[in-house]
Structure 1
Amino acid sequence: MPSRLAATLALLFLPALAAAQAKPPFGEPLPPQPFEQSPFRPVAVPEWVRGTTGVGYTLSGLDTAGRTAAVKHGVTISEMGFVDPFYPYYDSALLKKRSPHVGLDRLPRDIAEYQKLGLRILGVYPPTLQGEVYEAHPDWRRIPTDTTTIPQVDMKKFGHGGMLCPLGPYGDFFIDVLAEILEKHPAVDAFSFDGLHHGGVCYCEHCRKNYKADTGKPIPPKPDLNDPAFRRYQHWADRRLEALVAKAQARLKAIKPDVALVTWTTNAGRYGHFLSLPRNMSARMNLLFDAPDQEFWADESNRGNTVVPAFANAYAWAVTNHRVAFSEPYLMSHGNPYGKDSFPPHEIERRMMLSLTHGAGPSIAVAQPKRLRAAVDHGLDEVLRRKPWLTHKSPEPWAALLMSDNTRTFYGREAGRVEERYLAGVFGTFRATLEEHLPTTVINDWNLTADELKKYAVLILPNAASLDDKQVKVIDEYVRGGGGVVASVDTSLFDEYGDPRAKFALGELLGVEYLGLPTAAGGKADLDVNFAKGIGPDYWEKRKNVFDLTLGVSWLNAGKLSEYVGTEPVTFKGPAVRVKPAAGTQILGTLRVKGDPKAEPFPAVVSRTHGQGRVVYLPAGIDAGYYLYAYPYQRCLVANAIRWAANGVKPPVTVTAPMCVQSTVMRQTKDGTRRLIVHLFNDVNTTGGKAYPVDDVPLREEVLPVHDIRVTFRPGFKLGPIRLQPDNTELKATETPDGVSVVVPRLDVHAMVVVELADN
């Protein structure tokens, strides 16, 4: 950042955030982001939220019998509308119109009934859609294009108006309404918003004025993330929205300390939201929600029949710093057209159990067609049976997998290309660790700190292109101190704004010098002297090619990898960069452009030691290949690299099971006890993989049980009795050279191996 701009921002930017986060209810600050002049502090989550399961939507539309039944099946919180896009439902001093359809007596009746049933109240207010405000305050309207012309709407025809800009005066009005609701109705426990976001860009008079005041520059003329100026605006808008939510939390918790934001998120794992570029909100804004809820779609447009739904739930939990997140499986057979046609009831349990396996509490819309109601009740019952082991948990650390929101946004840049440019490396790595049963925790940009990384044996950086200088320094020191790193392709070649560097910032650690992209003929190409000034959209496309990958004899080419590959050339299709290894860097495999025996080979896999730690770097995007154009050898290669980089530190738990079994390892600290909980989820789809791949959707109708799964706890734990939950079956423990081992005789959909830990 230019020094003049930094100085200007230090004086001017975000006083609201400073005031809002100067004291509780906020926690310790995170590493700073651009345009941030006051520390970003996650909200402190109330204890009742930490202990909540059974989020059930649509009870506001049910009668007393329906609500009573939902509570019986474990629902503990549900929504209640207080403001809709047309009217408030209470006697508001801020909103003057009154609904001709909903009397003012309805809310008191519903509140009384919720309280009688023991239901917590989740108050709903559409955050950027309110017709009365839209009509009365034209200058508060969002302007999505570079014009000063305020959008006009026929309010008689479209009484809801259009989107309001939360980054200006409307944001304060929005908070005033929330405060009024809470003061008039103190029984409200939480608030939910459908779409609390800035829409990517706004050219209203307030945004123009504020951006000019804060930066000295106009908002760039179009929302194009290939434009360095717009990438800076994106950071600015994200900080403004974060400041609004922090201010709302401070105001509301001053009225009622344990009130919460349990709300929909637009950047926490749903595949469609990964494609929202420019992003609508920063991923870290989820830390200002007490519990974000993800719309969990598993249709064809959201990569339903892939590893993406599992990752979506792991990421939803990750963006809360593994505190509390919810995930609502949408019960649709297809998304195009949207509908529940022929939806198998059994699939409801599958989706709910997948969510909780990866740390997100499953929420559910209770009101469903009659044929699905019993299955929804069954799913709720299964969650309720597992409730003792679902709260107050954290991942048991071993490997950390970075999902970088800044890399997705400022390096991925375009919705239609971000999957191939960046997400593929993350998805491919996640798939490999899941199938190899390597305990892996998804982490975020803000978790790249010394205190966070010291928990892990190995850090995985799949094409983590956009890293700032402080993150680079932390990673380097982590490895020098004994940690391991597995990185790929463009890791550290860009900064936090997505601006390209002339060389890898982690070049010394990776043990390579950046030489540019492979040429079609496979020969050396001169490094573009203008690379550090900017790159065009064709940068990523130029890396596409088909190569022969050849592995040498080394620790890497072991186990199944030696069976599947050996030392013969195999096909690799995916991204690659050319690098020159430094002294002490070992080349473990090479690439050569396929079909050209005269082409010069270049490194595909290299390794080295760095201080006390170990590093594996993949100039060939083997991780992305395992998602985009998969071969089994890619999984073996990635897994062998991770195990070697862990530098002899064994996983806390080893699961021996077919690759269709997904496993996660969590530690629960609750009521004075500490437990290890190993989730086992059977992902067998007996009809999967038979339809047209692009539009295939998981619609499971039956269970194919998996037998004799072995779970082994690493030596060093002091273990009590080991039980299979939720059926409370004691498992026979056997001492082995690798640790204490138990066998799960049969897994249908989901089970947990639970052991209480004695003091070590």
Structure 2
Amino acid sequence: MLPTPLLSRREFLVRGSVVVGGVALAPLLSRSAEPLGGTTVATASSDADLWFRRPLRILQTVLREIDARAYDPTAVVAYLQRAACNTLVVNGGGIVDFFPNPLPLANPVRFLQGRDVLGEISAACRAAGIRVIARVDFRGVEEPIYREHPDWFGVTAEGTPLTLDYTTPTLYAGCYNSYHRNEHAERFIRHLLKHYPLDGIWHNSIAVAGICYCPRCREGFRSAIGADLPVMSDASPAELDRYMLWKAATADRHVARMRATVKSFGADKAYAAEVFGSMFQSGGAIWSGIDLYSARDHFDFLIATAFISENNAELRYDEIFHSATLVRLMKSMTPDKEAVILYGDNGTSHRYIMDAPAETQVWLWEALSVGGRFWNCGFTGMHPDSTHDRRAAYNSVAAYEFVRDHEAVLAHHAPVANVGLFYSRATRQFYRTASAQGDRFGAAIQGTERALLEGHLPYDFIPDDQLTPERLARYRVVILPNVRCLSDAEIALFRDYVRAGGGLIATFATSLHDPAGQPRSDFGLADVFGCSFTGRSADTRKDTYQFIAQPQHPLVAPDSGRTELLLNYGTTLLCRAQPDAQVICTHVPTVNNQPPEKAWVESWSREFPTAIEHRFGAGRCLYFSNQPDQNTYDIGHPDARLLLERAVRHLAGDALPIAESRMPASVHVGLTRSLVAPQEFIVSFVNTTSAPVRPIREVLPVHDLSIALRLGGRLAEHQVLRAPAAAEVRADGEFVRVHLARLDDFSAVHLRIQ
């Protein structure tokens, strides 16, 4: 019988609704609140001094079998020292073993020739004071190994062996319940930790896709659910949802078992696992039953896969700030754990050659600016300076050295902000199938991020399972970027937040669906938005505009003296404003552009609003019925971006921690705060200025930058951690002013207030 599953998201929200009305938010959101908007600083846990809670500088060498032939542990240690690494992740085994394995299913690398590569490198690193984590991989085995114990592995619905279709050679796979991934894996890990001087275990490829029909899965599902396992091709959505809840509980039990195995050797033994799948991916990764939400409590530090380009035939570069996005999400979940980006200085699908050096360096600085750390994963040799393309061997050194040299002040930092960006897994789930209106899950979030970053507005994420009155009370402004799927409990929380004095920004189809993706007849937050949905939408991809109906409103006043119209693009929902709502802009239907002589209208339409401000209780909401966030991401027009930036500034008033900034939008500002010494901050500057081509090939320096910070106290002392030229830091009443004469790629200043 399975143990009681973790609360499903729906159960969490239903139970959480009990406390919605029980907390008074108004005092926490009043104008007399501290300048940081009542930002709550987490307290570091009692094990903060464990080595994996300190800044991590990791190198992973994913050894090929042939690398064992002339493996030189002395050379590897020498490289680690030159590259400023403090931790090595190296192959232990599972698919193939880099040690003489006496256990069942052993598959030692044929080039070992009596050597013990894992033993040699772990001993050499221990002598040099470098931590070693062994990489284990139980995703599958080759056919000859499988034949030894075929009953240890997974089975398809047809009764054939479960295999992986993306590996060469084909691997025979197990499931979360299989003997291979459990009893065998546990025995394997125990052997490594007992016989080698290891500091932890990295559980590679822990996720299992699809449905397994092995006896353990069949019996476990029937015992817990009282039904047979569904068949993917015939199952209803409800049956698949029920299966996924069971699978998630099974996966959680599996991860807990592996962690307990590692921790039986001591609290200082680190355990972490590979949870692939972008935070914006709405496809197959959802079906593994495991993600950072469910696994974060089991891991001693959090890792997000952050290769600059994906492992695909067609290369696509993520947003240059995406590494920082991942760190923000991880830090919002567990601020007291290290948040690490797993990148590769030689890529993934083209792993034998380097990535663009400037691109990688900016990628690392972006992550560092919000409290992130590094895990350089190399695939093609015993270390990056001993492989076919050695041009990137020391490309990460500057960032690694910075963390090494300033470890004391960098430790236990997390982003600080009073603008919160809501992250909704139910909405992510909704986008498993393409939207008929062309909106996409990640585009709205990343477009919002772009507006915030370019406007120098610090923000962090609000994970949906941490949505509470207390969490909302930290923020002066909360943003819902096209959050289609909200539960009644979530709606009640946001309604109470605004009523108590909070500022809410929402776009497009926010709250039009419930958590299961079922449509509502009107916005769940219609009374907060100040408008109702008519049930109709307009295709506004071409020849459509927004008419400025209220020229003096702060959202449009900087432009209205010289224009009556703003861009519209994408899809616009047709809504009716409530009598007490301020209509700022309205939808202009298509003005056909050909022939030009006919491209005019008698008057601009005012019928349907596109931007509305509405007072609700003591707070205010700005609702956009179109897509300024996705438009910022897709086409980058300034009308869309500036509406979002001005919306935040309007609702936040004078409470933003960055009170003034004089620097280009291509300079991103990071602000972090110490969890153990809350009076200490680090402000970072990342320069992404370059020619308009990705990947970035050259970072162009910028000059004469200044910023004024409002940190809730007076400046006591400061330390310039990195700057290529003169950096001036001074107190100015309630402000801390920082001036940089020049910024190359990255600069940072440590501040202490009193």
TM-score for the superposition, normalised by structure 1: 0.81
Give, in whole Å, the separation in 1 of the partners of 2:202 and 2:216.
26
**Structure 1 residues 565 and 263, CA gap change in structure 2 (3 angstroms):** farther
In the superposition, relative to structure 1, how do residues 655 and 267 fare at CA in structure 2: closer, same or farther (>3 Å)?
farther
Q: Deviations over 1:17-64 (max 9, x none)?
A: 69xxxxxxxxxx999559999xxxx99976321103211122976531
Change (3 A) 1:356 1:207: same
* Counterparts of 2:711 and 2:194, CA distance in 1: 57
Distance, in Å, in 2 between the alignment partners of 1:462 and 1:226 is 30
Counterpart AA for 1:684: T
Give the CA deviation at 1:171. 4.1
The answer as to 2:719 corresponding to 1:723 is: yes
After superposition, residues 5-84 of structure 1 pair within 5 angstroms as 14-15=3-4, 33=12, 47-58=50-61, 63-84=73-94
Report the CA distance shift for 1:594/1:202 in structure 2 as closer, same or farther (over 3 A): farther
Cα pair distance change 1:251/1:433, threshold 3 Å: same
Structure 1 partner of 2:40: none
Task: State yes or no: 1:259 paired with 2:269.
Answer: yes
Aligned partner (choices 567, 575, 581) of residue 579 of structure 1: 575
- Alignment root-mean-square deviation, CA: 3.8
1:621 counterpart (606, 615, 627): 627
Indicate the residue corresponding to 1:548 in structure 2: 545
Match of 2:644 in 1: 638
Q: Report the counterpart of residue 133 of structure 2 in structure 1.
A: 122
User: 477-486 vs 98-107, which deviates more?
Assistant: 98-107
SS at match of 1:590: strand
Measured against aligned partners, the alpha-carbon deviations of 1:297-316 in whole angstroms (never above 9, x if no partner) come to: 22373434655455344445
Q: Which amino acid aligns with 2:547?
A: T
User: Which residue pairs with 1:163 in the alignment?
Assistant: 173
**Contact 1:679-1:752 within 8 A present in 2 as well:** yes
C-alpha distance in 1 between matches for 2:436 and 2:216: 32
Cα distance per residue 1:606-646 (max 9 Å; x no partner): 12122222111111111111111221011110011112222
Q: Distance in 1 between matches of 2:245 and 2:83?
A: 43
1:292 Cα deviation after fit: 3.0
What is the one-letter code of the residue matched to 2:633?
Answer: Y
Judge conservation of contact 2:369–2:684 (CA < 8 Å) in 1: yes
Is the Cα contact below 8 Å between 1:465 and 1:492 reproduced in 2? Answer: yes
Q: 2:344 aligns with which of 330, 336, 340?
A: 330
Structure 1 unaligned regions, length at least 5: 1-11, 19-28, 521-542, 690-696
Contact 2:5–2:249 (CA<8 Å) still a contact in 1?
Answer: no
Q: Do 2:201 and 2:262's aligned partners in 1 also have CA atoms closer than 8 Å?
A: no
CA drift of 1:516 comes to 1.9
Report the secondary structure of 2:293's partner residue. helix
SS at 1:112 equivalent: helix
Percent of aligned pairs sharing the same letter: 22
How far apart are the structure 2 equivalents of 1:708 and 1:87? Answer: 55
Give the conservation status (yes or no) of the 8 Å contact 1:59–1:367.
no
Describe the shift of the 1:81–1:329 C-alpha distance in structure 2 as closer, same or farther (beyond 3 A).
closer
Q: Verify: 1:708 aligned to 2:704, yes or no.
A: yes
Q: Which is further off, 303-312 or 260-269?
A: 303-312
Aligned-partner Cα distance in 2 for 1:140–1:413: 32
Q: Which stretch of the first structure deviates more once superposed, 297-306 or 618-627?
A: 297-306
| SS of the residue 2:393 aligns to | helix
What does residue 683 of structure 1 align with?
688
Q: CA deviation at 1:714?
A: 1.5
Shift of 1:456: 1.2
Secondary structure at the counterpart of residue 165 of structure 1: coil
Cα deviation for residue 576 of structure 1 reads: 2.7
Conserved in 2, the CA contact under 8 Å of 1:344 and 1:699?
Answer: yes
Letter in 1 for 2:680: R
Shift of 1:412: 0.9
Cα deviation digits, residues 211-269 of structure 1 (max 9, x gap): 44434455554379993543443344233212321232234323322222233331355
For residue 500 of structure 1, what is the amino acid of its counterpart?
Answer: P
Do 1:546 and 1:571's aligned partners in 2 also have CA atoms closer than 8 Å?
A: no
What SS does the aligned partner of 1:710 have? strand
Query: Structure 2 counterpart of 1:14, which letter?
Result: P
Aligned to 2:33: none
Deviation per CA, 1:404-448: give whole Å up to 9, x if none.
23311x211138999942211101100000000001112321221
**Pair 1:504-2:513 in alignment:** no
Preserved contact between residue 663 and residue 678 of structure 1 (Cα < 8 Å): yes
SS at match of 1:193: strand
> Residues 511 and 581 of structure 1 are in contact (CA less than 8 Å); yes or no, is this contact kept in structure 2?
yes
**Which deviates further from its counterpart, 308-317 or 587-596?**
308-317
Higher relative CO (Cα under 8 Å, sequence separation at least 6) belongs to 2
Matched, 1:285 2:274: no
User: Please, which of 339, 351, 354 is the counterpart of residue 366 of structure 2?
Assistant: 354
Does residue 180 of structure 2 align to residue 180 of structure 1? no
**Alignment counterpart, residue 459 of structure 2, candidates 419, 426, 440:** 440
TM-score, normalising length: structure 2: 0.81
Structure-1 separation of matches of 2:439 and 2:488: 26
TM-superposition CA deviations, 1:92-148 (whole Å, max 9, x none): 54545555443474433332212101111211111322347744554554456x544
Corresponding residue for residue 3 of structure 1? none
CA distance in 2, matches of 1:16, 1:557: 49
The secondary structure found in structure 1 opposite 2:504 is strand
Matched letter for residue 384 of structure 2: A
Offset, 1:169 = 4.6
1:451-491 Cα distance to aligned partner (Å, 9 max, x none): 22211111111011222333222222222222211111222
**Aligned counterpart, 2:27:** none
Q: Give the 3 Å change call, closer, same or farther, for CA 252–331 of structure 1 in structure 2.
A: closer
Structure 2, unpaired ranges of 5+: 17-43, 64-70, 593-600
Q: Could you tell me how far 1:75 is from its partner in structure 2?
A: 1.1
| SS of residue in 1 equivalent to 2:433 | coil
Quick one: which amino acid aligns to residue 293 of structure 2? R
Q: In structure 2, what is the Cα distance between the partners aligned to 1:149 and 1:401?
A: 46
The CA distance in 2 between the partners of 1:43 and 1:147, in whole Å, is 49
Q: Indicate the SS of the match to 1:125.
A: strand
Distance (Å, rounded) in 2 between the aligned partners of 1:104 and 1:268: 39
Q: How many residues align?
A: 692
| Structure 2 CA distance for partners of 1:632 and 1:757, relative to 1, 3 Å | same
Contact 2:338 2:372 in 1 (8 A): yes
SS at match of 2:93: coil
Tell me the SS of whatever aligns to 2:558: helix
Alignment-derived partner of residue 467 in structure 1: 486
